[in-house]
Chain A
């Protein structure tokens, strides 16, 4: 099993009296693609800056490979950063940019030449050695920024929303590119983004953050299918978030209708949050499902139809490949294992963006 590489212990940080991180604890394993995911202001970038050495935590320790590096300046750390806006050295050629870190470390000329060749090949930009950064497109500049970081053979690569400035198609290509790079290099990637799709596509582990707290840590599947609270459910993908009452193990009442589910251990008659993904709602002829409703909106989305169905006073979001015109009476059904039961937030801090009824 891969071992722990970085340990963040009890990290707190505030800027101008505003608490950005509050007692954050997180460990990162070797050779892991870990994504810090959350809305702006959730503390993900601050966490990355603390890892890179550009910010010092008010309390807590950063342990890297068994050593406390909390107070170590960035130039003494064995990790490299890819910045959001590339931050290339505009007065240097591409090869000078890539060679920068190696020249500082006084590597031999032939070693540097080999490394430049290798890095440019890795990011598919062979032959760009003598170009200036300004003459490259955004996507190419970002690849150079990655090449410039990885030639130093860091144990960890920090990526601060590196695809944020690119257009959709390029962003998707770069996602695959990054996964490939990570596998070829065999190093740890720590990736910051607010884009849930990016996080789901690339990560081994996703850390969902909000308001300086970690909301959930888990694999993309786990985060998507078994969100731990309403914030995570709402932030990751589309969802129907409902209030419900857990009547007993494996039985929950939602909107006055009893649904069987697979969750246990919530006690009896306990108020809970319930999330049902739109693709898990099955539409059928009236009377055949758990409750009946009327289709109120219909949009064609390409892969599927997106519909809104009003049933028992709630607007259900439904994704389906079969189409039901607006005004049709339908029934809704949800399979027991597609009903995700979550505890209500324990405190205000954990409460995320206000839950809107869909």
Chain B
């Protein structure tokens, strides 16, 4: 009884800040301006400009997730191979940027990448060709990778660190060479980490509007930007909510997939 009471603030929090807004999203998304039930806001996703924004968001976030995975796996293996003291320092350095404000970091990239920004100044000083990636999809992917990389490293590192050294040795003992050990033992045992890493990078990347706004200029619209504009500029909460429901569907699919693989809750540390 007492324990249940202790959970009360948390339940209240869930109710007010998670469940209530969710209900409002569904209410606005499934009604028109007169409060009459309609699927129009949801089916609006099929209009060409909305579809284009959704596809672009999907493609860019998938690319960013893939790059994060490529960078994170070897890094996590290196971290696991290090001695205790060394690797905690490395992990600390890696997480350090996460303690800085997300907006600030993205704005910093804007300054770095600008036509007359820091990077181009250095390049022109060295008589090297200019780097023109600001306001392109490349810059958006770069921003996504930079911001979300730690979310991929941590779960993969955790799952790799959990693998018992004896299990690896047992596989060696049974005749497996390094590649076979990796394919049959290390990789499958770290799959839960990979899956939660993918979820934790893919979901925020898919829904971002800040990164695309700051690094993509106003020309490149992702689905996140479209939704944001419906709320802030067009003041069409109904359409914004309807599109959000569609986006939520993709996130739910991703979550369901990850729940399928991640039975032990490796990603639950965040």
Contact = CB atoms under 8 A, between A and B. Distances in A.
Interface of A: 52-54, 73-75, 80-81, 83-85, 87-91, 100-101, 104-105, 145, 148-149, 152
A155 to B, nearest CB: 14
Given A81-B170, A84-B166, A89-B167, 4 more contacts: A74-B172, A74-B173, A75-B177, A104-B180
Contacts of A104: 174-176, 180
B9 to A, nearest CB: 36
B188 interface: yes
A52 B175 CA distance: 12
Given A85-B166, A91-B188, A52 B173 contact: yes
* Chain A, interface SS category: loop
B167 A87 contact: yes
Interface of B: 164, 166-167, 169-177, 180, 184-185, 188-189
A89 B172 contact: no
Contacts of A100: 171, 174, 176, 184
Contact of B169 (A87, A88, A105, A149): A87
Contacts of A84: 166
A14 to B, nearest CB: 18
A73 B174 contact: no
Nearest to B191: A91
21 contacts: A53-B172, A54-B172, A73-B172, A80-B174, A81-B169, A83-B166, A83-B169, A87-B167, A87-B170, A88-B170, A89-B167, A90-B189, A91-B189, A100-B176, A101-B175, A104-B174, A104-B175, A105-B175, A145-B170, A149-B173, A149-B174
A145 B166 CA distance: 12
A104 B171 CA distance: 10
B180 A54 contact: no
B170 A83 contact: yes
Contact of B175 (A83, A145, A152): A152
A325 B41 CA distance: 95
Contacts of A90: 167, 189
Q: Give me the 10 closest cross-chain CB pairs, A-B, nearest first.
A: A101-B174, A87-B166, A87-B170, A74-B172, A104-B175, A81-B173, A83-B166, A75-B175, A91-B188, A87-B167
Contacts of B175: 75, 101, 104-105, 152
B169 A54 contact: yes
A78 B171 CA distance: 14
Contacts of B184: 89, 100
Contacts of B185: 89
A54 B172 CA distance: 9
A74 to B, nearest CB: 4
Nearest to A54: B169
A150 B189 CA distance: 24
Contacts of B169: 52, 54, 74, 81, 83, 87
A142 to B, nearest CB: 13
Contact of B174 (A53, A85, A91, A152): A152
Nearest to B188: A91
Contacts of B177: 75
B180 to A, nearest CB: 6
Contacts of A81: 169-170, 173
A146 B128 CA distance: 64
B171 A80 contact: no
A59 to B, nearest CB: 23
Given A91-B189, A100-B171, A100-B184, A75 B176 contact: yes
Scoring B167, B171, B173 by chain A CB atoms within 10 A of each residue's CB, the highest score goes to B173
Nearest to B170: A87
